[in-house]
Each structure stands twice: as structure tokens, then as C-alpha cells.
């Protein structure tokens, strides 16, 4: 059994978190994700979103849905990704986890010590170890071994590589016990690495997202997916310094950031 917080976006309703147990309904999942019930039912009919039928009614296990979103984030249409990001951000702001839209931009959570450029790596395992070392260099990670195990577990589900030569690496579940706060790292290899992407192309740019809770996790993945669309990847491929990487990401995030 699991618990999660459900926060409505209606300003006239009580914003106190509501605890739910076990499986959840279509409407409850719609409220949590910021998607319409029709949209969720459409994903189920297309045999995409994992669901159960209990007493003739659709039900969902939240962890199954979160796993599905992680895997399918790159292929979700832009409207769904934006809706998901906006809903998670609204919920985090309402609960005080995020303070303001400006101070809690994703780019502000990437320390310079967490960026490494043109590193000569050739194996997927080397990339994951290097990302773990980068995370440790930020001073925000308490246990490198546990993070590496979490990254390997996530990659065993399926590769986090996306089209365009980039991968959004992350643990399968949030890791609040081994990080000080949410943070982001970036690694660029000197040559493309076979990271298991569906397109068969090599990957040379790797983000690592570490978060303390499911909502921050979903928000970060959705925000990254939106930031990297357009010409951002081409700029990241040719950036000369760590400061350039931060500047490119901050500018891209400022362009796409939406208000709740």
C-alpha cells in the first residue's frame, strides 16, 4: 500500500493534502497529474497506460503510472508534458516545497561542480560511475554506492537515452535519504557512447536528476524534456565551458517556463 499527496488546482478548494491508499480512480489520477479524465482513458484504450479493472471500474497503481511516465516522457505530446509540469509545480509551490518560480528553476539546481565536459568514456557503466562521482563532487550526495545501484536499477527497466544524443539519467524512485536536496548534473563525453537508445544512435550528453519526492521527480523530468526541445541540444553539444552550459539551460528554461 502506498500514500501520496493529492493537491487540487482550484483556488476555492481546501489545499490541505489528502491521503489516499491502494489503487486510485481515473478522476483521482487526473487531478494528481493535471491531465483530463478523457485523456487518461484514451491512453488506457490505446493499451499504453497501465491500469486495472476492479468491479467494472478503471483503477491505477500510482507507482505503475510513474514508471510508465518515466519511460514514455520523451514520446508524450508537448501538451501533456506541459500540463504535467504545471500541475507538479503548482502543487510544490502550494506546499512550500518550491518557494518562487524564479528561485526554483531547474538550472539553479545544477552546481558548477556537477558539470564535466568532453570526458573520454566508452562504456555505459563508465558513464553511470562518472555521473555518480559528479554527484558526489557537488557535496549534495551522501552515498555514491546507493546512487549507482539506483541508476543501474533504472537502466535495467529500459534505457534513459532519448533521440538527439542525450540521456535523462535518474533513479527509478526518489532518494531523499542520500541527498541534501534536489540537484542536477551534466556530463558530455568526448565521443558518443552506446547507451541503449531505441534509435540505435550513440549518446554523448547525459543529465543526472536526483530528487527527494515523486512530485519534484516528475516536475524535473517534464521540465528537462521541454527545455531540450528545439535548438538547445545543438548548443549544449558545442558549449565550451561549464558556465556556458548553465547559461544555455537557464535561457532555455526562461523561455519555456509557464506559470500555474
* Domain definitions of the chain by residue range: 5-94, 106-212+230-256
| Secondary structure E strands in the chain | 5-6, 18-19, 52-54, 57-59, 115-119, 161-162, 166-169, 183-193, 203-210
CATH for the stretch 106-212+230-256: 3.40.930.10
Cell 551534466 locates to: 186
What whole-number percentage of the chain has pLDDT above 90? 72
**Separation of alpha carbons 234 and 236, rounded Å:** 5
Confidence of residue 199 (pLDDT cuts 50, 70, 90): confident
> Is the pLDDT at 223 greater than 90, yes or no?
yes
Q: Which residue, among 46, 134, 111, has the nearest Cα to 249 in the 3D structure?
A: 111
Confidence of residue 210 (pLDDT cuts 50, 70, 90): very high
Distances (CA, A) of 226 to 94, 158, 214, 255: 22, 21, 18, 10
What's the pLDDT at 159? Answer: 93
Res 95: pLDDT: 87
Pair 132, 172: CB distance under 8 Å? no
Q: What pLDDT digit, counting tens, does each position of 38-87 carry?
A: 999 999 999 889 999 998 899 999 999 999 998 888 889 999 999 999 99
Tell me what pLDDT residue 102 has.
57
Q: What percent of the chain has pLDDT over 70?
A: 88
Give tens-digit pLDDT for 225-239: 999 988 999 999 999
The pLDDT score that the predictor gives to residue 104 is: 62
Question: What is the rounded CA–CA span in Å between residue 212 and residue 176?
Answer: 4
pLDDT at 8: 33
Q: Report residue 19's pLDDT band, with 50, 70 and 90 as the boundaries.
A: very low
- Residue 116, pLDDT > 80, answer yes
Distance CA 199, CA 258 (A): 31
Amino acid at each position: 500500500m502506498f500514500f501520496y499527496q493529492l493537491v487540487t488546482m482550484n483556488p476555492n478548494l481546501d489545499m490541505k493534502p489528502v491521503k489516499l491508499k491502494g489503487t486510485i480512480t481515473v478522476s483521482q489520477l487526473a487531478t494528481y497529474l493535471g491531465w483530463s479524465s478523457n485523456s487518461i482513458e484514451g491512453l488506457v484504450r490505446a493499451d499504453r497506460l497501465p491500469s486495472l479493472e476492479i468491479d467494472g471500474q478503471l483503477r491505477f497503481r500510482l507507482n505503475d503510472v510513474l514508471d510508465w511516465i518515466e519511460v514514455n516522457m520523451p514520446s508524450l505530446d508537448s501538451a501533456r508534458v506541459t500540463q504535467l509540469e504545471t500541475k507538479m509545480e503548482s502543487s510544490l509551490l502550494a506546499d512550500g516545497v518550491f518557494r518562487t518560480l524564479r528561485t526554483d528553476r531547474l538550472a539553479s539546481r545544477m552546481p558548477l561542480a556537477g558539470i564535466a565536459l568532453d570526458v573520454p568514456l566508452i562504456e555505459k557503466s563508465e558513464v553511470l560511475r562518472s555521473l555518480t562521482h559528479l554527484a558526489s563532487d557537488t557535496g549534495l550526495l551522501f552515498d555514491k554506492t546507493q546512487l549507482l545501484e539506483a541508476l543501474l536499477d533504472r537502466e535495467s527497466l529500459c534505457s534513459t537515452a532519448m533521440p538527439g544524443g542525450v540521456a535523462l539519467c535518474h533513479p527509478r524512485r526518489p532518494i531523499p535519504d542520500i541527498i541534501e536536496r534536489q540537484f542536477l548534473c551534466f556530463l558530455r563525453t568526448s565521443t558518443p557512447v552506446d547507451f541503449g537508445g531505441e534509435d540505435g544512435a550513440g549518446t554523448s550528453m547525459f543529465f543526472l536528476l536526483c530528487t527527494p519526492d515523486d512530485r519534484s521527480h516528475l516536475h524535473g523530468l517534464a521540465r528537462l524534456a521541454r527545455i531540450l526541445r528545439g535548438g538547445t541540444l545543438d548548443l549544449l553539444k558545442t558549449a565550451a565551458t561549464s558556465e556556458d552550459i548553465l547559461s544555455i539551460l537557464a535561457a532555455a528554461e526562461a523561455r519555456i517556463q509557464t506559470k500555474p
